[in-house]
Chain A
């Protein structure tokens, strides 16, 4: 069969070119990942024939994403642990401490190391266990497989290559769901799956019901979208013209089965299907597939159109039948994991765990590395001082040390250099405590709990409507959230809902509609005006695309309006002038509209609600069911003949339809941007124009997208003469578009203004307020969108990113000069010219910006740039200029940018400005940006998972960013800073007391403390309280954090982890260690009880250690902003643990035998234990007092302002709101109370046919949304469905 293979290879390029559904060569921006070289040869699969496939030994369909198994866990896990430098260092020290040069028992270093390793390994094991469970769930999901002429439900893992399966769209399999992290639950779940996999489908429900009865498992969440269990060859589906798997941007990818296989749908038919498939070896290229199906002695070429990828889901059809091609780890999606192109596909939850969580390290942690390095340097200096001292000190004169000739090298005065060198190592083991061994594991634990318990469980970030809590996919970046300075946001789906709603209108100089937009709400809240909620009137109708309420024109009331003629024209214009395609039942309730842009659908829906129901389109006619036309109750179907459609495009910015009424009236209806319509209005009626203009501005300032509606009556003669020109232009071969535009220009004049519509590009809830808050927090928000410039600017206005007080810099490629050069068509010339233009513009803007910056109260600046210009501006020569300009700008909007450019802009700021960046997006096109930024945030809860898959955090709504950053991020940052500095402090203090002692011991490296004191210091006596602080410390409450976003700036400036802070702590350490050492030393001289007895070394060291433990723990309490009972318990517990330990320990060990009892029998002990910690803490207390009184931090001021307010109550109040979030749609507020600011800017509607669809088209996906395609499709639809089967 190799001949056939060869032939196929040869014809591959041709088939792809010819395919009308498939544009060649997926764009470069999509396949960022490296495509693996294909294995040589190909695989032959015998469909529906397990025996025949047996010799080839294809891999099974079970997948495993676990890192370890029982055997490899210990070696592999330990290896992972020792990849950390700190652990390696301690291993080295432990080995060193086994040698005779060590002053300490090996136990000193081995115990902490093993404890740290143990904790880490337990964590690893726990995580792997989770992964294992997830795998089990996936592997045991049921799928219908054809066996013995029946569909048998088998778990995914039993699937084999060549099997014929059936995948349902709905209710294909049952998915279990677990409440709470309960081990018992999880065990039960596992058990349940095991049972399910052994029993057949019928018992399944019974078992699950039983388990659900136990109360641990909630059963029966039937997944809506069935996921494909393996890479499949698509054979047949219930609707004959193809099926679709889902893509994230709510557009579907269409897959079409080969016509020859359409029949194999039922089990008995499918059993007969015996094909032989030859295809490529498994590879990670998601968009290519080559293979042949040899079936009924015919060779049929296969293309990606017939391939259904594992993890994708099914829509628009009941079920499909397919043959398994690649299974398990050989599926394309699995092979492509970790590859950026992965993000393009819609992976369901099913595949989620097979994606590696991107590993990013936080900036703070990188800075921590520097601190650790500094500590190493300090350690080395200390050791060096000690070593030199020992070399000088050692002398035979100390006869009691017996340093004669036979003495070991480490004490041999004959070789002082060797003594010094060996002492260096001795001291390294002695001072090893300076490196905080448990720091990393503590931070890891803190962050883990922060992300799994705090972020994931926060009710403030829980979206009740979609039942989506926030999800921290990595716990590495919690504190990074507290330092974000730049946010890069996608527009559609992130800032907006991609939902257009007819919101207001102005007809004949009268405004209708009583809604209040998010933008207005945000503005009102800023000005402190309380917005009252008004009840919706009974006339209010809210459906998709229509959110409008005005009793004056609803339900036919418009007939009583003085301008009812204008109303009629207005509604007719809405119902006729469009390129929308109705679908489904021809009743107002059931019909759905297919439109190139949601704007258009919204307008047609509005017409429907006003009583002009557009229900059918034929190639030449538009049928409208008009009610209340002349008198009440009369419903009339009117058919308008569509004579010409003058399309919308970005230069025309308008759309017209010429139609003929049944009574012969010829009318041209036109809708478009206000600027173009006003240019073409007939003279006169200036009042209306002025009033409408004012209304447009009012709409614009409310963040609405406006369109002007106008009409013109045509006389038959005028029309005929024009139509001739039109037909001529339409049939011309050269410059057809241009000629059509020119012809349209001839008829689109002397228009009569009817009014204007205002469509709300529905923002996500709370977006303007959120952006406002983020601004105040010192965060700069950039919008990177694939949309057109006008749309982007409009949304920027709506979100308060840009306002009229701002100086706007617009760098656009849509200028006359550029267009002129482009028309000439010379690519090199175009590139050179645009680059020059961009350079000129940038330079001009930059100069202007710098001018404004120099003036004291200059306006805020904003930059708008489009993708084409950006491409040149990102050129290495211009990049610096772009960066300088954009960093000076308050907000930046990049429109028409590709995913790659999004990533480039992100890394420009990340690398160029060295600021911490966050990217937020919801779709596949945001994946690269999300991965490029320091922190990637995905919008979850909608169907597209690819952004979430690539992200570090997933939230359901943009507005949750406030909570994520201002509350969780800020707290995390604060806490981690505290934890790190405290660790630094406590270990340095402890080690320095040791260091001072070295000077008094002839630099011999004698340990001051007992081995076990030293080893347990880090892991028991001071370990827990700092973790408590890392979890609970709050400077100000969550509500205050959001009330005063300015507090966030402390994180951006990294106030709490600067070198200055570290040095302050270091001084504190030096001071305290000197106090400990000298106070204890001096005060211990002489007889220490009334019977004149004297203390020895261990008595004094135990005294000193007691002081250290007490002080260090109390110091922690001093730096807490809020003290819960857990603080008391842990701090008290730690001190108590020390005493309990020493009570027991001093009975067991000889050298410290009875020391604590001896000590505690003296009054001296109690006097010192009071004095030394107080003196040690006094320095810090004075520092804190002075700092707070005279140089307070911002948060401290807020603390004092709100000292008397208990924050518990506010929090509890919010909790109730959190659990029953009212949908934004149900809120409406009194418009009259809102302040009015008129905007010069009036946005206009008409979204582009969609950057997304452009993007989809690049992927070889058929996107049926071209406006000019509508008529053709309408004609297709009108035909009755003919049965396809012959």
Chain B
């Protein structure tokens, strides 16, 4: 054994570490980047909860107040508007186009309603978000009309009698077609049906030069018809309808009343009960609602804010008590 041979020092000199102590890269390599170290101390937890409550409670109260100022009248009319003789077989009533579909409802205003008052129709158990339904439209065609042949997705309402349908697809085909007329006392309330759709939809998604074509001409009629002389961008009913709802229970804007309704006013609604929700047991409701800066009546946000804020403060107190009782 050769004991005189020590470890060679220069044979591995090829591997050197470049040391540049000031550079970020070096701090990175030595894992020495400046960092703050958030330690979730009890005091931080308590403070965070307290602050959270402090911020959330006022927001919640404001939101809830805003929601509470909204006055809403909801009237379900789908079963009431079927004549007594047909109560047992609503589907045959609605499918028989020879029968008169008009119907009257009386609404009582409980609280003063400030203009503008929004008229919504609400459908329940209506799956506008079904996969087959959602995709059955052609955005290209809505914008460009017959010039666009990109209607493959409209299946099965793509064409009728060999001619393309504008607007094609199930969504348009099943357009809601109940109509409402409101009368207060003897005077008919004027309903403004303009500007009920989002502006971006009207301007950019529905063509100004696109007119309905070959629409609802088939053997099966799904829903409402369209005036072939009005371009799609002005058919706001259709535009509203085609912004498909996210959930099976949804409201859609029908129009606006631009005068105040006083408390204890009685309003007679003459409606045409055209739309078939009886097949699948859906409900139809008419909603009159005012609006606040936040929109329609929806207490959820307010309640959520208040409960989160409230429970935060309670939690902060609980943690504080624990912290005092069992200090670390």
Contact = CB atoms under 8 A, between A and B. Distances in A.
Interface of A: 103, 175, 177, 179-180, 221, 223-225, 250-252, 315, 349, 395, 397-403, 406-407, 411, 426, 453-454, 457-459, 462, 465-469, 471, 544, 583, 592-596, 598, 601, 940-943, 971, 1000-1002, 1004-1006, 1032, 1034, 1038, 1079, 1081-1097, 1099-1101, 1120-1127, 1150-1151, 1153-1154, 1157-1158, 1162-1164, 1167-1168, 1170-1171, 1174-1175, 1178, 1181-1182, 1184-1185, 1188-1190, 1196, 1199-1200, 1203, 1208, 1211-1212, 1215, 1219, 1250, 1253, 1263, 1265
18 contacts: A398-B130, A399-B222, A402-B173, A544-B3, A592-B3, A943-B8, A1000-B246, A1004-B129, A1004-B132, A1083-B301, A1091-B195, A1093-B197, A1094-B243, A1099-B246, A1123-B37, A1124-B33, A1189-B323, A1215-B30
Nearest to A1128: B36
A224 B40 contact: no
Nearest to B249: A1085
Q: Which of B3, B222, B304, B322 has the most CB of A within 10 A?
A: B3
Contacts of B9: 465-467
Given A406-B156, A467-B13, A1092-B289, A454 B31 contact: yes
Contact of A349 (B14, B130, B131, B201): B14
B11 A223 contact: yes
B187 interface: no
A1006 B118 contact: no
A1101 B246 contact: yes
Nearest to B175: A400
A218 to B, nearest CB: 8
Given A399-B222, A971-B31, 19 more contacts: A224-B8, A250-B2, A458-B30, A466-B7, A467-B10, A468-B12, A471-B15, A544-B6, A594-B3, A1004-B131, A1034-B31, A1081-B247, A1088-B295, A1090-B292, A1123-B35, A1175-B304, A1185-B42, A1188-B45, A1215-B30
A1200 B7 contact: no
Contact of B200 (A349, A411, A471, A1157): A1157
B33 A1189 contact: no
A812 B204 CA distance: 91
Nearest to B45: A1185
A1092 B291 contact: yes
B52 interface: yes
* Max chain B Cβ within 10 angstroms of own Cβ: one of A459, A1081, A1127, A1253: A459
Given A459-B30, A1001-B130, A1199-B39, A1087 B17 contact: no
A1123 to B, nearest CB: 5
A377 to B, nearest CB: 25
Contacts of A598: 3
Q: Which 4 A-B pairs have the closest CB atoms?
A: A1087-B296, A1150-B139, A1086-B296, A1096-B243
Contact of A1211 (B32, B38, B251): B32
Contact of A941 (B12, B245, B250, B252): B12
B291 to A, nearest CB: 5
Contacts of B133: 400-401
B218 to A, nearest CB: 11
A407 B31 CA distance: 62
B198 interface: yes
B163 interface: no
Contact of A221 (B13, B156, B198, B253): B13
Interface string B224-239: 0000000000000000
Contact of B280 (A397, A453, A458): A397
Given A457-B29, A466-B7, A402 B14 contact: no
A400 B222 contact: yes
Contacts of B300: 1079, 1082-1083, 1085
A1199 B2 contact: no
Given A1038-B31, A1092-B291, A1122-B36, A1153 B245 contact: no
B48 A1171 contact: no
Contacts of B59: 1167, 1170
Interface string B129-159: 1111110000110010000000000001100
Contacts of B246: 1000, 1081, 1084, 1095-1097, 1099-1101
A6 B186 CA distance: 127
Contacts of B312: 1178
B134 A1171 contact: no
A641 B84 CA distance: 139
B279 A943 contact: no
Contact of B35 (A221, A1122, A1151): A1122
Contacts of B6: 544
A252 B1 CA distance: 7
B71 to A, nearest CB: 13
A1005 B294 CA distance: 32
A1122 B37 contact: yes
Interface in B298-328: 298, 300-301, 304-305, 308, 312, 315, 319, 322-323, 326, 328
Interface residues of B, number: 109
A401 B127 CA distance: 9
Given A1002-B127, A1004-B130, A1038-B31, A1150 B276 contact: no
A103 B134 CA distance: 11
A1178 B323 CA distance: 19
B256 interface: yes
B322 A1189 contact: yes
B118 to A, nearest CB: 4
Nearest to B278: A397
Contacts of A1090: 291-295
B164 interface: no
Interface in B33-57: 33-42, 45, 48, 52, 56
A468 B15 contact: yes
B156 A1175 contact: no
Given A402-B157, A943-B7, A454 B15 contact: no
B216 interface: no
A287 B128 CA distance: 79
A1034 B35 contact: yes
B196 interface: yes
B162 interface: no
Nearest to A406: B156
A1092 B253 contact: yes
Nearest to A596: B1
A1088 B36 CA distance: 41
Contacts of B173: 400, 402
Given A402-B156, A1001-B131, A1002-B130, A179 B198 contact: no
Contacts of A1089: 291, 295
B250 to A, nearest CB: 7
B5 interface: yes
B10 A224 contact: yes
A1086 B251 contact: yes
Given A223-B11, A1253-B1, A1006 B134 contact: yes
A713 B289 CA distance: 124
Nearest to B205: A1153
A1032 B30 CA distance: 11
A594 B4 CA distance: 8
Nearest to B311: A1178
B301 A1167 contact: yes
A544 B266 CA distance: 113
B252 A1094 contact: yes
A1083 B3 contact: no
B244 A593 contact: no
B80 to A, nearest CB: 21
B161 interface: no
Contacts of B17: 457, 459, 462, 469
Contacts of B319: 1185, 1189
Contact of A225 (B11, B244, B250): B11
Nearest to B294: A1163
A1006 B39 contact: no
A1124 B118 contact: no
